[in-house]
């Protein structure tokens, strides 16, 4: 029988380019998502990735549901110095997974900003094991403590890996 293969390997003649790492890839996507935030008090984007490096949810800061007006259209709903209309990107991702029945156990999140305390609690409880973030401007020290206590890996990615949209207020 003729062993000759029907194909051959042809090396590329193009100059070798540097591929994005997984961290760059997912954080770049998170920064693009942040651009869709509809509350200009914080442009935040998040991507949840499973063990196979597949994206299972995306989210950004915005109003709840599809019928609530967006802050950028009608103004913020302020109480005690916080906009209470906005659902944070991380919770947005988690809630979507709850709605669609997507397990979050052992998944990781790429989020443009270090999570607030409430989001941290929800991330830990939902089974996320790693949190990658870019901006650590507002780090809640109790959120940091909870991550440590629960063995959650929190990794600040180097600035320059992706560009966060300029924040509003
Ligand atoms: Zn708002
Ligand atoms: Zn939050």
Span 61-74, pLDDT tens digits: 999 998 999 999 99
The reply to whether the predicted model has a pTM over 0.85 is yes
Examine the pLDDT at 15 and tell me if it is beyond 90.
no
Say what the pLDDT of residue 168 is.
63
56 band by pLDDT with thresholds 50, 70 and 90? very high
**Helix orientation angle between 117-126 and 141-149, rounded to the nearest 10 degrees:** 10
Which is nearest to 58 in space by CA: 41, 34, 42?
A: 34
Q: Looking at the CA of 122, name the nearest ligand.
A: 2
Say what the pLDDT of residue 138 is.
87
By mean pLDDT, which of 19-23, 55-59, 110-114 is the weakest?
A: 19-23
Q: Which residues of 46-70 are buried (b: 16+ CB within 10 A; e: fewer)?
A: bbbbbeeeeebbbbbbbbeeeeeee
162 band by pLDDT with thresholds 50, 70 and 90? confident
The rounded mean pLDDT for the chain is: 93
Examine the pLDDT at 152 and tell me if it is beyond 80.
yes
Q: Looking at the CA of 84, name the nearest ligand.
A: 1
**Nearest 10 degrees: Cα torsion 56, 62, 65, 66:** -100
169 band by pLDDT with thresholds 50, 70 and 90? low
| CA–centroid distance, residue 116 to ligand 2 (Å) | 4
Active-site hit among 8, 24, 35, 90:
90
Higher pLDDT, 162 or 43: 43
Distance CA 132, CA 127 (A): 15
Higher pLDDT, 169 or 38: 38
Say what the pLDDT of residue 166 is.
81
Phi, psi of 69 (to 5 degrees): -65, 150
164 band by pLDDT with thresholds 50, 70 and 90? confident
| CA–centroid distance, residue 51 to ligand 2 (Å) | 23
CA angle 77, 33, 36 (to 5 degrees): 40
Q: Is 90 tagged catalytic?
A: yes
Distance CA 92, CA 47 (A): 10
């Amino acid at each position: 029988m003729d062993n000759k293969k029907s194909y051959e390997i042809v090396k590329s003649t193009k100059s070798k380019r540097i591929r994005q790492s997984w961290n760059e890839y997912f954080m770049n996507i998170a920064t693009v998502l942040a651009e869709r935030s509809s509350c200009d008090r914080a442009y935040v984007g998040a991507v949840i990735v499973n063990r196979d490096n597949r994206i299972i949810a995306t989210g950004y800061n915005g109003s709840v549901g599809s019928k609530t007006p967006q802050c950028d259209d009608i103004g913020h709903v302020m109480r005690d110095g916080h906009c209470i209309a906005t659902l944070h990107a991380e919770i947005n991702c988690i809630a979507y997974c709850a709605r669609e029945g997507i397990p979050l156990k052992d998944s990781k999140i790429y989020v443009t900003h270090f999570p607030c305390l409430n989001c941290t609690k929800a991330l830990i409880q939902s089974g996320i094991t790693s949190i990658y973030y870019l901006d650590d401007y507002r780090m809640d020290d109790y959120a940091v403590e909870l991550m440590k206590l629960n063995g959650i890996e929190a990794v600040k990615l180097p600035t320059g890996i992706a560009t966060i949209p300029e924040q509003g207020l």
